[in-house]
Structure 1
Amino acid sequence: AAYGDQVKNGAQTAVNEINKKGGILGEQVVLKLADDGGEPKQGVSAANQLVAEGIHFVVGPVTSGVAIPASDVFAENGVLMVTPTATAPGLTNRGLSNVFRTCGRDDQQAEVAAKYVLANLKDKKIAIIHDKGAYGKGLADAFKTTLNAGGVTEVLYDALTPGEKDLGALTARLKSDNADIVYFGGYHPEAGLLVRQLKDIGSKAAVIGGDGLSNSEFWNIGSQAGEGTIFTNASDALKNEDSKAAAEALKAANIPAEAFTLNAYAAVEVLKAGIEKAGSAKDSTAVATALKSGDAFPTAIGKVTYGENGDLTSQAFSLFKWQDGKIVAAE
């Protein structure tokens, strides 16, 4: 829900700003919300509902597990989707022409993390844990691939179950395997518990993760045990000239400029750019073609360009870390 709220806030703020300036092709933009509850079945029914309402363009879905089945519904019905947050490679690897994202892919961000470990922590004992989901396991497997290719084999590859509150068996195993580094593929609730429960049993293991650890809830759950936790996220959008207007609009609306909020804001801007270039708010195929033209579109996350499969060819990941409850650059 935390991520869904960030996406909703970002998209709504972008729509408000666009409407203030005359809308898209002279028409005001209407934002309709559909809740998939993070559940694939609910996501498919939400997708069908939007199709029934005659929606042509979608910002979302939020999670990869929902985005993959929902994208099939959208593809069959000529709906173009731009997800700000679904990072599973499988989403764009299936040859659908209607799928775009304003975030990078898990294999890209896991590779950045693995290269950091290989460059700086090669002699450490490394464990890999995931949460069994499309996002988490995707991250873990991509991290493992790059790590192993660099000549390092993990001491443990294991999984936890989301929602599980007691990770005692897992943390004990990590401690007995003398893990120095735990790469975690998953989201902030489990990551927060993991850092806290590792610290509680006296483990010195450092946790590294993906952008699922970028939410402020991570610190609320992990507290001081989260100090120094490193994660990959989209390179700091707020350093881009193009993001200034978005940052100001969000500030005026009292909304924190968090990564997923900016990605959602950018998703709306991408749709606007594509519709204007295609000259049609109805023909999603023409809009998809316009977005893949190679043009760079200015957005809240900087200038974006798209490849044939709807993945960003402009996106880069950087390393960040938690320090005193705030996110700072790790390098």
Structure 2
Amino acid sequence: MRKGERASLAVSLMLAAALLVGCDATSAPLERIEAPLPGVRSDAVRLVPDEVRYRFPGVVRARERAAPAFLHDGVLRERHVVRGQRVEEGEPLAMLHNPAMAPALAAAEARVRELDASLSRLGRDVERARTLRERNLSSEEALDRLRSERGALAQAREQALARRDEARAQLEELTLRAPFAAEVTDLDAEPGDFVAAGQPILHLAGVAEREVAIRVPANLAVRLEPGQAASVAPTFGAQRIAGEVVHVGRAGETLAPVIIALPAESAPALGEPVRVQFEIAGPPVRRVPLAAVVDPSGSTPYVLALNEDDRVRRTPVTPGRLAGSWVSVNGEGLAPGDRVVTAGQGRLEAGMRVRVLP
């Protein structure tokens, strides 16, 4: 074969090979590689009853308190107790000296004895006159006169007995006694001091029961009532004590007094500062996991909710109170039972489809 023919044959073979290769390329199927859906975790929006907690500072005090005083003026002769001492009901606390009391009692007792003697003598005169009248030796008028004198004398004796009892009671009032079992918390007068009638001598705090007095806003006071539960905790401790509202006073312009009773067996010491907490039921609120809120402290917090086809939608919310790992939210387009993304939000955009992990 000549040289020119060999070159033409080589070119023809190359063209045929090229055509075969092109046919194979066009006939082979084109395979597409799709990116996997981003995986996320989700939780459902909850509708739960809300409880608002209010805390107020207070100080523990005795439910029974007294500042005993004398009914009369005088000089404090003796004081039988000291600050911090425990006293029982009826125990003497102090004694007053009033120079007019003892003579008044003595005079009242002497007057009673005098009237007793006169009444006894007049009684004998009446009996003698009655005997003479039966023998017609005296007139009826004389007997009636003696009987009238005896009746008037008996009434005078009753008045004298009342004055004697009054003087005796006043003399007994010169000894001040404890009205109930208590602890002496303060002393206002020392032996030798002149004290006026009604002036406190000391202060007592009962040992039986404790209470806490606080003041609350008027709008909260109308929601409190006797018998309602309250939690009391020491300011510098973690102990919780179950208390009970026993009194809700009238609200002034802004605040109302409220008294909480404490059980005697677990009550803190007198004067200890405490925190009183009320839990007031409120309307139901929507709650989502705190992890579902994106940028919760920013200017535009939001959650990523999932539609039925697992596509993401962005829903602005306003976070509220935190309860454990859940937070209450307000926002349109978010209903109880809706799913919200709790993990994997960083690479998501609205409208994207996701794969929800178990």
Larger Rg: 2
Higher helix share: 1
Q: TM-score, normalised by structure 1?
A: 0.19
Q: TM-score, normalised by structure 2?
A: 0.18
Higher relative contact order (CA 8 A, sep 6+): 2
